[in-house]
Amino acid sequence: MQPIENQENTASTSVISLKDVDIYQHKTLILSKVSFAVNSGELVYVVGKTGSGKSNLLKLLYGEVPPVNGEIQVAGYNLKKISRRNIQSLRRRLGIVFQDFQLLQDRNVDDNLRFIAKVTGWKDKKAIDARIDEVLEMVDLQTKGHKLPHQLSGGEQQRICIARALVNRPEIILADEPTGNLDPETSYDIFHLFQQIAANGTAVLAATHDFLIVNQIPSRILQIENGKLLE
C-alpha cells in the first residue's frame, strides 16, 4: 500500500529527493537550498566538519526537524505535507544508526531486536525469531543473541545497532557518525557492512567526518561547506 502522502506514481528509483530545502536549528538557518537525490542501492556519504549540519540533515529526513521551503520526498512521503500520525509510518520505512548505539542495557541482543520488531507492528513470534536470526547473520553476530550490550565490544554493539535498523526491512538506512567512537579497523568493517547492505538494494546515507573511511571505501559524496551542500 502506498503512503498517504505519496503525491505521484513514478518510475524513479529515488528514495530520497530534496529540491531547494532550507534547514533550520530553532530559528537559525543551518543549510540553505539543499538539493540532492539518493537511489535504492546507493551508499552516499555526507561529509563536513563537526557542527556543519550533518545531523540536522538526517533529522530532517526522519521527521525530527521540519523542512522549510522547497520540496522533499523520503520513502514515498512528502515531508512538507506529512501529518504527525504518519511520521511513525515513515520511520518504519527507515533504519537509523546512531553514534552512541542507544541499545537497551537491561536486555540481551535478541530482546533488543525483539523489542523493535514488536513496536513496529510484528505480531507473529516465529516470524520475529526468524527475522532476528536473519539480521544477526547479516552482521555476522549470530552467536551473540544471548549477550547483554555491556558484554560486547564497541564494534559489536554498532553491528547490533545495524541489525536493529534492518529488522523492519527498511528502504533507507540513515547513519549519524556511526564510527565516531570506534577505532580505524572497526570503522572500516562497519562501512564495509554498509557497502554490502547497499549492494543488496537498501539506500544508505551516512554522515561522517572520517575521510580515511571515505577514501578506503569510495562512493558518492555530499559535502557540507559554509551552509551549503555540494555534490
Q: What is the mean pLDDT of the chain?
A: 91
The DSSP 8-state label assigned to residue 13 in this structure reads -
Query: Interhelix angle for 154-166 vs 109-119, to 10°?
Result: 30
Distance CA 96, CA 210 (A): 19
Q: Give bridge partners of residue 24 from the DSSP assignment.
A: 29
Here the cell at position 109 is 541482543
Cell of 211: 575521510
Indicate the pLDDT class of residue 139, thresholds 50, 70 and 90: very high
Q: Tens digit of pLDDT for each residue in 86-102?
A: 998 999 999 999 888 88
pLDDT in the model for residue 8: 38
pTM, entire model: 0.90
Architecture of domain 14-230: 3-Layer(aba) Sandwich (3.40)
Sign, Cα dihedral of 212, 215, 220, 222: positive
Residue 33, H or E segment: strand 28-39
pLDDT tens for 208-218 read 988 899 999 99
